[in-house]
Structure 1
Amino acid sequence: MQLSTILTHLNEGVLTITINRPDKLNALNKTVIEELHIVLESFYKHHEMKAAIITGAGPKSFVAGADISEFLELDAAGGAALAAKGQEQVFSKIENSPKPIIAAVNGFALGGGCELAMACHFRLASEQAKFGQPEVNLGLIPGYGGTQRLTQLIGKGKAMELMMTGAMITAPEALQLGLVNYVTPAEELLPKANSLLQTIIHKAPLAISEVIRLTNIAAIGADNGLQEEINAFGRLFDTEDAKEGAKAFLEKRQPVFKGK
């Protein structure tokens, strides 16, 4: 893919998506959003891409927020359209991907960068990473799902505090709050992310997809979550993978899943 702000690399089924604007601390602008959408469309379609990591270029920043220079000419309609486009084309597409997408947060994850990380299915952080939603400092609020996902991940009280103060937290604090799953030295961040995804992509793909879908249902507090789980549990019994899994267990061997 010929892209100006995104680098991609596919290795052993894992697509690494690197936001590549290090001179701007990888800030999100319209081009980044459009190119992330292109990459995600390709990721959805191609079977050889089994999982993805999103990270940032350079040692300083994952994504240090949105490109504020693009805000100056926006009115209410333009601001709402910006948020809606980003949520539809990128953030919701990441969250609802049937294949796992995780964030490897290598530095500042602020504003839209924190929201991008939170849209991923889970997050790893380097020891230098910092997280925050500082939009109130601009007279704004998070617009890419931050009010909802931060509350889901760390709870109402702490989420309100962070969004109302605009404070940054460190990687160890993010780990303590449950915002990230692991904190590693910088040089171990991508190897750890790849190792986790190699474990995941060797499980049954249809089951992984249902885990993602049902966990997202649980996160929004939907009333029908238990029934959705019952239905999905039943459907999976009709798959070749479920039969292969049971057979392999009884034969004391590793299963070979085909996503069927």
Structure 2
Amino acid sequence: MQNKSWAFINLEREGPLAILTIENPPVNVLTDGVLNELDLAIEAALSVEDVRAIILKASGEKAFVAGADIGQFPTLTKQTGIELVEKGKKIFDRLADARVPVICAINSLALGAGLELALACDIRVAEEGSKLGLPETGLGILPGYSGTQRLSRLVGPGKAKELVLTGELLSAKEAYETGLVERVVPNGESFAEAKSIAEKIVAKGPVAIANAKKAIDRGFEMTLEEGQKLETQLFSELCETEDMQEGVKAFKEKRNPVFQGK
């Protein structure tokens, strides 16, 4: 995969890592154009077989993503409202359902659609000065890019209701304590931390990583019994892979494994 740049999105390749950077100053609002290019960039990153993790970040210091384009809201009808949120959901779902882990580096404000984008990622790293929240009810609407659904699954329905209904913003520390982000780092270090996490992931068996992600994501929506059956199935699929043989062999030989994703 070669590096690619659009008007608002930059896609870089560093070994097995694909790095997506949103560049729509001053606060990286998710306009229709940004969403279109984000969709193209995700597709391009996932089309490369040996990409094993994606890092999502944003340029500038004012905001990770400050939200959606509010200017489009006054003219919305029921039908165009459906079309608007379904488009965003489709793009965010593509990120959430990616075969590889997606790590989000939050460097400042993650509000509204910006937080919903972060929620579609697997792991979130936030800098100490970040603020996170879903303030949509203050505009007379609600989070429409799966925010009500992903947030409640991440932090529980009670906390999700508190955050959505009040529109309250959380500090990075509060977001960590709530379970909204996985790590908090000093300002300016979110990308380096996200990259460190990604490098640990890509050192593991890629087929095992993909199946483990499936087991957690799909099993979360199942009963315990159903989830256990899924886990058994996904485990069994790994038993005949070359990666498993290499992993065991490397362990016995006390060396680092060289996985091929097979």
Q: Does 1:211 align with 2:212?
A: yes
Q: Distance in 2 between matches of 1:114 and 1:259?
A: 32
Q: 2:107 matched to which residue of 1?
A: 106
SS class of match (1:258): coil
Contact 1:29/1:70, CA 8 A, preserved across alignment: no
Quote the sequence identity (%). Answer: 40
Cα shift readout 1:178-235 (whole Å, capped 9, x = no counterpart): 1111111122211111111011001000010011111111333456221111101111
Unaligned runs of 5+ in 1: none
1:1-260 superposed matches below 5 A: 1-23=4-26, 25-88=27-90, 90-221=91-222, 224-260=226-262
SS class of match (2:184): strand
Q: Distance in 1 between matches of 2:83 and 2:56?
A: 24
SS class of match (2:75): coil
Deviation at 1:15, TM superposition (A): 1.8
Q: Structure 2 vs 1, CA of residues 2 and 151 (structure 1 numbering), >3 Å: closer, same or farther?
A: same
Q: Distance in 2 between matches of 1:222 and 1:36?
A: 34
Q: Distance in 1 between matches of 2:223 and 2:242?
A: 30
Q: Distance in 1 between matches of 2:58 and 2:189?
A: 15
Residue 22 of structure 2 aligns to which amino acid in structure 1? Answer: I
Contact 1:135/1:163, CA 8 A, preserved across alignment: yes
Unaligned runs of 5+ in 2: none
Deviation at 1:57, TM superposition (A): 1.2
Q: Distance in 1 between matches of 2:124 and 2:152?
A: 16
Contact 2:107/2:188, CA 8 A, preserved across alignment: no
Contact 1:96/1:212, CA 8 A, preserved across alignment: no
SS class of match (1:22): coil
Name whichever of 72-81 and 58-67 sits farther off.
72-81
- TM-score computed with the length of structure 1 as normaliser: 0.96
Q: Distance in 1 between matches of 2:248 and 2:83?
A: 48
- TM-score computed with the length of structure 2 as normaliser: 0.95
CA RMSD across the alignment: 1.3
Name whichever of 182-191 and 32-41 sits farther off.
182-191
Contact 1:105/1:126, CA 8 A, preserved across alignment: yes
Write out the 4+ residue segments of structure 1 that deviate beyond 4 Å after TM superposition.
Answer: none
Contact 2:220/2:227, CA 8 A, preserved across alignment: no
Name the count of aligned residue pairs: 258
Residue 34 of structure 2 aligns to which amino acid in structure 1? Answer: V
Contact 1:152/1:220, CA 8 A, preserved across alignment: no
Cα shift readout 1:137-196 (whole Å, capped 9, x = no counterpart): 111111111111111111111110000001100000001011111111122211111111
SS class of match (1:15): strand
